[in-house]
Structure 1
């Protein structure tokens, strides 16, 4: 099994939460473009200067990208979870590596900038059974490592308004948007619910300009699953390692 080590600082103790994400290789143009857009590299932990766009104030852009900036450039496979007290990081890494061995790399559908619910994201232009299958395997395969959600976290999730199906998934798997409710996306902004439509259009046009060279290139390959960690409650997420599929 090959593991690409990220350049993030070594954690000296078990992190508060972990997550399994899709992320482009950290030495790739895709990683740089996404990290620049968000204004932070989750591999190094360093701030990045965000690109400047005509008609898009810097402070507005900074505010719009604040939520995804904390989580780093990624698409969620297994949402952040708190591991059981007896689960060490090495055990979690071994579990993720075992999961990766069951899958071969594959080409993803072309991506496009879209408004998903109330935020902007890069999403597949067509459905992908392979993406759905890998994401589902991450949810079910890593679930045994995760503590159940606390009553307060359940209440927080439910406050957003869930369908009965989503609520059942939340209770069973700790996150409502998994399995049949999973939608692959790489978040570009946080919620734009209270944002003027003209501003949303400006942000969408800026994202399309920023990613245009990559969106016009050959599609991304899904070659690894990335282990991210939130070192302490509320801290920025860091990319710890990228574990290659099929090795």
Structure 2
């Protein structure tokens, strides 16, 4: 089993429905969802990677548990309860190294603080990565800070290297990007840019290697 700490839209946020439709799966229920048609492209194939993880933005990346899940859940609930809800800046569609994703349109110190707290506070519950897991991160391609983060925290992009992003495609060629971007913008409309408040911290779980991630818990922020 693996767990991860993610941000995900609230169920009454239209972004939950639209993003789940785009990816073809609802991470809250696990149900398969009909995807919109994109002429000339196999949308199912171009969204297969993010579909498995569910609609989310990573706060603490997936990790194998070094302690019982209930103990980790209690610690995460305490972290959430001690964190004040905050406004998320409007989201916008960008390309990140060939992946289309939603990113915040302005810096958000509260969001960075929550991600940092998730990484550090829950680290005692993370089992160290195996040699194979480290190798998959291609440490030879990382700078010194990335290699340190990988070995110390299990992931290269944490703290100052962390970037909020809601991944919506796999890596695209320029031609695929040009074809799919208008369809994605039309599907989402103005929903990403609408005001929204971060009021919960989500625990996603993966039952076994290769299994899809599901939202196991929505922990309310209460500070």
1:162 aligns with 2:131: no
Match of 2:95 in 1: 115
Match of 1:221 in 2: 197
What is the root-mean-square deviation of aligned Cα atoms in Å?
Answer: 1.4
> Is residue 8–residue 55 contact of structure 2 (8 Å, CA) maintained in 1?
yes
> Is residue 24–residue 35 contact of structure 2 (8 Å, CA) maintained in 1?
yes
Deviation at 1:222, TM superposition (A): 0.9
Match of 1:72 in 2: 54
Aligned counterpart in structure 1 of residue 178 of structure 2, from 186, 201, 213: 201
> Is residue 122–residue 185 contact of structure 1 (8 Å, CA) maintained in 2?
yes
Match of 2:23 in 1: 38
Count of matched residue pairs: 223
> Is residue 92–residue 193 contact of structure 2 (8 Å, CA) maintained in 1?
no
Deviation at 1:118, TM superposition (A): 2.0
> Is residue 136–residue 178 contact of structure 1 (8 Å, CA) maintained in 2?
yes
The structure-2 alpha-carbon separation of the partners of 1:216 and 1:153, relative to structure 1 and needing over 3 Å to count, comes to closer
TM-score, length-scaled by structure 2 = 0.95
> Is residue 139–residue 147 contact of structure 2 (8 Å, CA) maintained in 1?
no
1:238 aligns with 2:218: no
> Is residue 226–residue 243 contact of structure 1 (8 Å, CA) maintained in 2?
yes
TM-score, length-scaled by structure 1 = 0.86
CA–CA separation in structure 2 for the residues paired with 1:44 and 1:21: 16
Q: Structure 1 regions of 5+ residues with no counterpart?
A: 1-15
Q: Counterparts in 2 of 1:59-208, with a 5 A limit?
A: 60-84=42-66, 87-158=67-138, 161-192=141-172, 195=173, 197-208=174-185
Q: Which runs of 4+ in 1 moved over 6 A?
A: none
